[in-house]
Structures are given as C-alpha cells and as structure tokens.
Amino acid sequence: MRRFLRIAGIVVGTIVTIALIALVVLLQGPAVPDHSDYQLDLATLRKLADQTAGQRPVKINAAEADATSSRRAFPVISTTLNTKPSRTR
C-alpha cells in the first residue's frame, strides 16, 4: 500500500508541476493587442484558399464510418480485464 501511495504521489506531483509550468508560460506569453491596423480581405483569403465567392452551401454531406454498440463492448471488456480464473463446480 505504501508503494502505491508513493507512486500515486509522484504521478500527481508531476502532473501538478507540469500544470504550474504551463500556467506560468501561458500567462507570461505575448498579449493580444488592443488595437490592430490589420485588415482582413475576404477576396484575397478566398483566392489563397482556392475557394470561389458565392452562396453558402445548402447541404453538407457526411458519412458515418463506423458505429459501436456499448452493449456489445462491455462483455468484451469484462472478459479481457478478468485476471482471476473463474471457479467452476
């Protein structure tokens, strides 16, 4: 039990340390300016993206690649995670 608590403490301490370092780096990063002279030209942006100007699409087609059933997945998980042999009488 002491070994588990030691390892868990090391893992939690490492995650907290990484989070604090990331917080300091992100807070000291460059600030977003209050005012900018940059003008976004939509025509140029569409030209760079190889898109023509026009109406928005009416319909977006999408296909579902695969679907799973959670009722089928749970028995597989329970049999693979079972480490103790079952007793049969």
- The mean pLDDT of 45-67, rounded to a whole number, is 74
Q: Number of folded domains in the chain? A: 1
Host domain of residue 20: 1-29
Q: Is residue 62 part of a domain?
A: no
Average pLDDT, the chain: 77
Mean pLDDT, range 48-73, rounded to an integer: 70
Whether residue 8 is contained in a domain is answered as yes
Instruction: Determine the Cα angle at 46 with ends 40 and 49, to 5°.
Output: 115
Confidence band (pLDDT; 50, 70, 90) for 1? Answer: confident
pLDDT in the model for residue 11:
97
Q: For residue 33, what is the DSSP state?
A: P
35-65 residues labelled b (16+ CB within 10 A) or e (exposed):
eeeeeeeeeeeeeeeeeeeeeeeeeeeeeee
Do the domain assignments include residue 51? no
| pLDDT for res 10 | 97
Rounded to two decimals, the pTM is 0.37
**For residue 60, is it within any domain?**
no
pLDDT attached to residue 81: 54
**18 lies in some domain:** yes
